[in-house]
Amino acid sequence: MGAVKAAVDAGIKEASKVGKVYSSLVIARPHGDIQKIIAKYVIEW
């Protein structure tokens, strides 16, 4: 879990150099229906 969080933090740092980072979240053990939950909040560009 710690390595994943460090990788996400590094990605956020680099991504913020080229644009706005709207959200970041590391879920240790995601819900079984995570795809359905995420689909409700997808932002279409």
Distance, CA of 37 to chain centre: 14
In a domain, 25, yes or no: yes
Q: Which residue has the tokens 């969080």?
A: 5
Entry pTM: 0.58
**Residues 24 and 12: beta-carbon distance below 8 Å:** yes
Tell me the pLDDT of the chain averaged across its residues.
Answer: 88
pLDDT (mean) for 2-22: 93
pLDDT score for 38: 86
Q: Give residue 8's domain range.
A: 2-39
Position 44 in a domain: no
Q: Is residue 45 part of a domain?
A: no
Number of domains in the chain: 1
Structural contact between residues 5 and 28, judged by C-beta atoms closer than 8 angstroms: no
Give the per-residue pLDDT at 10.
Answer: 96
In the structure, what pLDDT confidence band is assigned to residue 14 with cuts at 50, 70 and 90? very high
Give the mean pLDDT of 17-21.
Answer: 95
Instruction: Transcribe the chain into DSSP letters.
Output: -HHHHHHHHHHHHHHTTTS--------SS--TTHHHHHHTTPPP-
More confident residue, 1 or 43: 43
